[in-house]
Structure 1
Amino acid sequence: MDMPEWLKPGLVGAAAGATALAIVGFSWGGWLTEGSANKMASDMAQAEVVTALVPVCVQLSKMDPLASQTFLKLKEASSYQRRGILMEAGWATMPGSSEANRYVATACLEKLSDEF
Structure 2
Amino acid sequence: MAERAVGHRATTSAALSPIALWSFLAVLAALLFAWRVGMQWPAPLPGGIGLDRVILVYSTLPRGAVAVLAGAVLGLSGLLLQHVLRNPLAEPSTLGISAGAQLAMTIASLYA
TM range (shorter): 0.3 to 0.5
Work out which of the two has the higher radius of gyration on C-alpha atoms and give 1 or 2. 1
TM-score if structure 1 supplies the norm length? 0.32
TM-score if structure 2 supplies the norm length? 0.33
Q: Which has the higher contact order (CA 8 A, sep 6+)?
A: 1
Determine which structure has the larger helix proportion and give its number: 2
